[in-house]
Every structure is written in structure tokens, then in C-alpha cells.
Structure 1
Amino acid sequence: MHRRHVLAVCALALAAPAFAEAPALLLAKVYQPGLPLADYWVSEKYDGVRGYWDGQRLRTRGGESITPPAWFTAGWPNTALDGELWAGRGRFAQAQSTVRSQEAGDAAWRQIRFMVFDLPAHPGSFDERLPALQTTVARMGQPWVQAVAQHRVGSHEALHALLLRTVRAGGEGLMLHRGASLYRAGRSDDLIKLKTHDDAEARVVAHLPGKGKHAGKMGALLLEMPDGQRFKLGTGFSDADRTTPPPLGSWVTYRFLGTHHGGLPRFASFVRVREDMVATQ
């Protein structure tokens, strides 16, 4: 092989990002009536980008490295922190743009807060992790790093009243965290999300052609759910979305109203592309 070609191949190999394994995160299930509310702490659900500090670097839910300015993570502990990179209520797009950009500067990152809600490496229950988390964040002494406020709620009526107040103020919803639970990866009743609507993520496997006024553009997406089931998603798109649809393999969030008997979503509509989740083919 020619020496110049060898050098070019080596340079590309050095420049290519290494594959990052996704962190083993605790994931939420959807609220169901009858939950033993006395067992849970309640907090606001922050609409941002999941951030996982592994003690050395900050990563997304999919395992990709996040590159904030050096000051943002300076002095962070060598223990894991799980939280949300958040730009404020109703500013998901701003948070996602800043976190995903390799060129976002100080001004953009000054608008981001790391809302910490768990200590994954702590061996105790959430009841025990919570004061440890609050102590850890207080010792950091950085205004852009905050421990998520957790409360007890006395009744389901009070819980839903809190949900409505949060949503009316621009919040996304609530999270319920079982106090006796250990930190374990995957979905379980240890962590519950409560919103005024259902939403979920699915992977784009095909672009289906449009008809009528959408002729020549994308008419619908064929999506694959994590359990392998597929369905067509044809509403909620702007003209720009239909002209340049989400790439094949990317993950999108969709909103829906319950499910059919087989588990497929009812009245599903497109919300956004999840750029913090690794695209797969």
C-alpha cells in the first residue's frame, strides 16, 4: 500500500470516534392507577437530555460523549451521577442543540443545568441515596448542578393536582421513585413517570411515500418499537419534516392515547427526533 494512503487511513482511524457502550440506566415505567403512593418520592419530570457522569466523563443515554466547556464539569466527583441536562421548561430543543453540538460555547452552556436525581453507584436504597445525593451536590457548590427536589404526596388526588399545576406552569410531568428500591438498570416499578398524555420512543425503519397533498414527500414513517412490533406514524409532521424526514435508524418520540389490545399505540402523532439516542440500522 502506498505510504500516503497508509497515512490517510491511520488519520481517519484516529479521527473516528470510538464506539461507546450505553450506560446501564434505571428507566421509567408509565403510571398505573392503584400504585402504593406512600412508597414513593415525587419530583418534577425535567424535559431535557439524560446525562450520565461516570466519574470521568459525561455521556448521553446512548453512551455518546458530551463535550461541555471544561469549567462545566471541573471539580465533579469520581462517583457516578445520573440526571438531566436541562435548559428550563419548554426548552427541550435548546437543551438538545447545546448538548449535541461540538461547538456550543460558554454562552449556550451557561443556560444548561444538570439536574441530578440519583447516585447509581451508591449501594443503598433510594431513601438512603437521596441524602447522600444532596450532600454530594452541596459539596460541589456549583449553581448549574442541582439536586432534584423530592417530596412525599399524601393521596392520588393530591398527586394529580400537583401534576396539573406542574403542567400548567410549563412542566412536562412528574416522576415517582420507590424509596426502598436499589439502583438497577432497566424498566421496573421502581421508577414511574406520570404525564397528562402518553409518549414513547421507536426506531425509524422506513419512509413511506405520501399521496395527495403530500405526493413527492414522506407520507408516514414505519416505526419499530423496542419489543419488535411495527406501526405507521403519519400525523404530527410539519412540511419541513415531510421534506426531510428523520433518518432511517434514528429514534423518534411519539405521543399517543393508550394502546390497542395487542400493544400498538392509539392515535399516535410525531413529537420529535431523539438525537440523544444512538441511531441503528
Structure 2
Amino acid sequence: MRILLCCICLLLSALAGADPLPPMLALRAPADVDPTAYWVSEKLDGVRARWDGEALRLRNGERIAAPAWFTRPLPALPLDGELWMARGRFDALSGLVRRQLPDEADWRQVRYMLFELPGADGDFSARLERLKAIERDAGADWIRVVPQRRVADRDQLDALFREVVGQGGEGLMLHRADAHWAPGRSEALLKMTPFEDAEATVVGHLPGRGRLRGKLGALAVIDTEGRRFRVGSGFTDAQRASPPAVGALITYRFRERTPRGLPRFPVFVRERLLP
């Protein structure tokens, strides 16, 4: 019953442009986390996409122009997942998702990697079994469940983390096995990455000097806590020539924070497909 009501809510919200069912969001995994309580998966560098029963949508509700054949196997109930090509292919995927007319050939390279049933009953282990059944019923090689595994201890978790990062992956996600679905951030969903990452909104462009004269020197940004700072590294020459616009949301990485809470040596990662 709950998932039926959630499906109705998502369909109505899509029509209204609202989002009454916010997604689950990850916290950073603490150093002393007990991994035996969690299912562990790779953190994919894709575009998060939510299926409302009729269309794929970004978190802001914007419809993704996916080909009809791509979404036809999906069920009429809410799903959460990641559109993904391969490690290191985010930029190509981002450009594809932004197009108003789907490129049939390029979409053949995309998979919809499922990791959650928003609003569904049961703990994550039970929801995972339902996702596997959805994959089987879909019968399409582009509809997949993100592979999940259990680890015996922290040493095994750390070894898996080093393996994934060493092969070009972003890190790991930890889903608490006995946790029921709930919106927002909680210890039910954790992430492990080599650096901390966060999001900020672009509020200005600072000009470059020397080799960068005439191009972007740094972005002036403001984070969710109202802290203002600059992000000046991590950009390609093409991104410096055509930087994210004022108002755009970006992801940046950093190692630690100052006593004032500002990130030390923030590095630009990507522009987010979110408002």
C-alpha cells in the first residue's frame, strides 16, 4: 500500500513540478564504522535519475529525454538509480542527458543502475531482493541492479575500497541492511571516497592571470552553510573558457576544513545537473 501511495505522490508531484518525496542522501562514513551491518557497492560516477512510473527525472523533477525503448521495460512504480556508462565517462553521459532529443546510438551505451525503491516497505535487504526481481522482469541488459556485497570486517572493506579507487572508481556506498527507507541524510546510507566532496553554488567568475588571461581564474561560490570561498583548480582549458554559469551547482573535493569551516584546497569536480 505504501509504495502505491508513493507512486501516486510522485506522479502528482511530477505534474506539479514539486518533490514531496525527497531522496535518501549519504553521509560520510566514519572511520570506526562497522561494515558488517551494511551492504557495500561501488559509488558510480553517473547521473542520478529517479523513475516516477512514467518518466526518468533529475532530482529537480526535470524530465530526461530518454528513448522510449530505454524506459519501456521499467515498472509503474518509483525507482531510484544512476544512469551510467563506465568509469571516467561522466562528461560524455552528462552531455547526453542534457540533450532534448535523445541520441539513439549513444543511449545504447547507457545503463540504468538501480539502487533504491523510494517509499517501499521493508528493510534494505528486502528492498534489494525486490530490485533484483524488477531487473529479472525487465529482461533488458541496460536495466541493472547495482552489485551489492557484504564484507567480514574493516580490513576487507578497506581492501575493497583500495581496489575500486585503484581501478578508477569514485569509492564505495554503504547501505545499512536493516534500515527502512527514509528521506534525507542518515547513517542508513554512507559513502567512502578518497576525499571529502560537497556542493556549492556559483556566485561569480574571477579572471585568470598569466597563462589564464582571458579565461576563468577561479569560481566564487557559496556552500549550503552560507560560507563563501573560491574554487580555482581542477578545471580543463575548455571549462576555463566556458565555465559553469552563475547560479550553477558544482561538486568540489577537499581533504579537510579550516577552523572556520572552509575547505582547504578545494578542487572542481563537475557541474551538477541540479538546480
Same fold per superposition (TM over 0.5): yes
CA offsets, 1:132-164, max 9 Å, x none?
Answer: 111122111111000111111111111111011
Larger Rg: 1
Which residue matches 1:84?
A: 82
Which residue matches 1:277?
A: 274
Write the mapping of 1:18-97 to structure 2, written as runs, cut at 5 A.
20-22=17-19, 24-97=22-95
Which residue matches 1:119?
A: 117
Amino acid aligned to 1:154: A
Write the mapping of 1:1-281 to structure 2, written as runs, cut at 5 A.
20-22=17-19, 24-274=22-272, 276-278=273-275
Residues 174, 54 of structure 1: CA spacing in aligned structure 2 closer, same or farther, 3 A cutoff? same
Distance in 1 between residues matched to 2:83 and 2:50, nearest whole Å: 9
Range with bigger deviation, 168-177 or 208-217: 208-217
Does the residue aligned with 1:76 lie in a helix, a strand or coil? coil
Does the residue aligned with 2:217 lie in a helix, a strand or coil? strand
Moved over 6 A (4+): none
State the Cα RMSD in Å.
Answer: 1.7
Does the residue aligned with 1:38 lie in a helix, a strand or coil? helix
Amino acid aligned to 2:159: A
Distance in 2 between residues matched to 1:108 and 1:202, nearest whole Å: 30
* Displacement after TM superposition at 1:212 (Å): 4.0
Residues 54, 202 of structure 1: CA spacing in aligned structure 2 closer, same or farther, 3 A cutoff? same
Instruction: Indicate conservation of the 8 Å contact 2:220/2:230, yes or no.
Output: yes
Does the residue aligned with 1:191 lie in a helix, a strand or coil? strand
Distance in 1 between residues matched to 2:135 and 2:234, nearest whole Å: 39
* Displacement after TM superposition at 1:256 (Å): 0.9
Instruction: Indicate conservation of the 8 Å contact 2:38/2:175, yes or no.
Output: yes
Instruction: Indicate conservation of the 8 Å contact 1:89/1:171, yes or no.
Output: yes
What is the TM-score with the length of structure 2 in the denominator? 0.89
Instruction: Indicate conservation of the 8 Å contact 1:79/1:121, yes or no.
Output: no
* Displacement after TM superposition at 1:19 (Å): 7.4
Does the residue aligned with 2:125 lie in a helix, a strand or coil? helix
Distance in 1 between residues matched to 2:170 and 2:234, nearest whole Å: 18
Amino acid aligned to 1:277: L
Instruction: Indicate conservation of the 8 Å contact 2:119/2:182, yes or no.
Output: no
Instruction: Indicate conservation of the 8 Å contact 2:40/2:149, yes or no.
Output: yes
Which residue matches 2:3?
A: none
Does the residue aligned with 1:161 lie in a helix, a strand or coil? helix
Amino acid aligned to 1:20: G
Amino acid aligned to 2:18: E
Range with bigger deviation, 189-198 or 212-221: 212-221
Instruction: Indicate conservation of the 8 Å contact 1:207/1:221, yes or no.
Output: yes
Distance in 1 between residues matched to 2:216 and 2:73, nearest whole Å: 47
Instruction: Indicate conservation of the 8 Å contact 1:48/1:84, yes or no.
Output: yes
Does the residue aligned with 2:144 lie in a helix, a strand or coil? strand
Range with bigger deviation, 19-28 or 162-171: 19-28
Distance in 1 between residues matched to 2:212 and 2:97, nearest whole Å: 33
CA offsets, 1:180-205, max 9 Å, x none?
Answer: 21211111111111112222221101
Instruction: Indicate conservation of the 8 Å contact 1:166/1:172, yes or no.
Output: yes
Distance in 2 between residues matched to 1:225 and 1:19, nearest whole Å: 28
Distance in 2 between residues matched to 1:188 and 1:83, nearest whole Å: 18
Distance in 2 between residues matched to 1:19 and 1:33, nearest whole Å: 42
Instruction: Indicate conservation of the 8 Å contact 1:174/1:193, yes or no.
Output: yes
* Displacement after TM superposition at 1:239 (Å): 3.1
Distance in 2 between residues matched to 1:267 and 1:259, nearest whole Å: 9
Distance in 1 between residues matched to 2:157 and 2:69, nearest whole Å: 38
